[in-house]
Amino acid sequence: MARDHTVNSIIFESIQPEVAVTKPLFPLPLVLFPGGRLPLQIFEACYLDMVGQCMRDGEHFIVTMSRAEGFADLGCEVSIRDFDQLSNGLLGILAVGERKQQLFNPRQRDDGLWLADSADLPLESTGEVPVEHLGLVELLKSLQVHPAVRGLYSEIDYTDASEVGARLTELLPLDNEVKQSFFEMQDPINRLSELEVEVTKLQIQGRGA
């Protein structure tokens, strides 16, 4: 999938690294948007320490998409909304996406935890879902009926283009690099247009299976 970096370049140039704040990273093979809800099982010592510090001090960490080598330099700051000991004895937390972050100067501690300086990306523009994309709303509604999804998202604003695009990107079985490219978009209507293309591809693949 071809990617247009023009908008991102303009955004990046407007962010000054000197306003960045150091935050811990949690690289994962997924893409999480602001407003996204992510249940996690924590078992590695460095992440147990990270979660403990975040809960104790009210701090946030950043979920960023992992790659074969390294991770994406744009991620999502998350807060910890809930925690519990799971039946398998592991610590379970619910992380909720707060805001997109650009990462600078990543470095790894001796215990394996990654840190990076991070700065807020501008908030996306807001707007209603255009009529031509209402089919995506119906698709999201059909996904929300699934018990696992309904348990995470009891309420979704189906009129909001940004939320509809974000939730579909998280839930659809798309390649993570495609999801990351959608995450990096700042225009929610453009994201919906690109999602239409990917949904059509999935439908064609399904018919050919």
152 Cβ contact list (under 8 Å, min separation 6): 37, 39
pLDDT value for 9: 41
Angle between helices 161-171 and 188-208 (to 10 degrees): 30
**Percentage of the chain with pLDDT > 70?**
90
- How far apart, in whole angstroms, are the C-alpha atoms of residue 68 and residue 27? 11
pLDDT in tens, 66-102: 999 999 999 999 999 999 999 999 999 999 999 999 9
- Per-residue pLDDT at 190: 97
Alpha-helical (H) ranges within 34-133 are 45-57
pLDDT digits (tens, 9 = 90+) for 12-47: 455 555 567 999 999 999 999 999 999 999 999 999
pLDDT band at 169 (very low <50, low <70, confident <90, very high): very high
Alpha helices in 67-160 (DSSP H): 134-144, 147-152
pLDDT tops 50 at residue 11? no
Tokens of 50: 């990270």
Q: pLDDT grade, residue 125 (50/70/90)?
A: confident
* 3-class secondary-structure state, position 4: coil
Domains of the chain are 14-120 (2.30.130.40), 131-204 (1.20.58)
Can you give the pTM of this predicted structure? Answer: 0.89
